[in-house]
Amino acid sequence: MSKLLHGRLNVVLVGPMGAGKSTIGRQLAKSLKMRFVDSDHEIEHRTGVDIPLIFELEGEEGFRKRESLMIEELTSKADLVLATGGGAVLDPRSRELMRLNGVVVYLSASIDHLLKRTGKDSKRPLLKTEDPRGRMRELLTLREPLYREVADFTVDTGGRSVKTVINEIVEQIVD
DSSP one-letter code for 86 = T
Task: Give the Cα-Cα-Cα angle 36, 9, 1 (nearest 5 degrees).
Answer: 105
CB-count burial class (<10 Å; 0-12, 13-18, 19+) for 31 = middle
More confident residue, 38 or 6: 38
Look up the domain containing 81 and give its range. Answer: 10-169
For the segment 105-109, the average pLDDT, to the nearest whole number, is 96
Residue 44 domain flag: yes
pLDDT at 118 over 80: no
The proportion of the chain whose per-residue pLDDT surpasses 70, expressed as a percent, equals: 88
Question: How many separate domains does the chain show?
Answer: 1
Evaluate whether 115 touches 18 at the Cβ level (below 8 Å).
yes
Task: Tell me, yes or no, if the pTM score tops 0.85.
Answer: yes
Distances (CA, A) of 8 to 1, 28, 79, 98: 11, 17, 9, 10
Indicate whether 5 belongs to any domain: no
Residue-level pLDDT at 1: 40
Question: Strand locations in 35-122, DSSP E?
Answer: 35-38, 80-83, 102-108
The candidate with the shortest Cα–Cα distance to 15, out of 169, 172, 170, 146, is: 146
- From residue 61, how far is each of 64, 89, 125, 137 by CA, in Å? 5, 14, 13, 21
Let me know the angle formed at the C-alpha of 13 by 36 and 121, rounded to the nearest 5 degrees.
85
- Residues 146-156 have a mean pLDDT of 97
Q: Residue 123 has what pLDDT?
A: 59
Question: Does residue 1 form part of some domain?
Answer: no
Nearest to 16 by CA among 66, 101, 85, 93: 85
- Return the pLDDT at 114: 87
Query: What is the spatial distance between Cα 39 and Cα 114, in angstroms, rounded to a whole number?
Result: 19
User: Is residue 33 in a domain?
Assistant: yes
Give residue 38's pLDDT: 97
129 within a domain of the structure (yes/no): yes
Which among 72, 34, 70, 67 has a CA at the least distance from the CA of 51?
A: 67
Among 23, 52, 49, 45, residue whose Cα is nearest residue 36:
23
Please check whether residue 4 lies inside any domain of the structure: no
The CATH number for 160's domain is 3.40.50.300
Q: What is the mean pLDDT of the chain?
A: 89
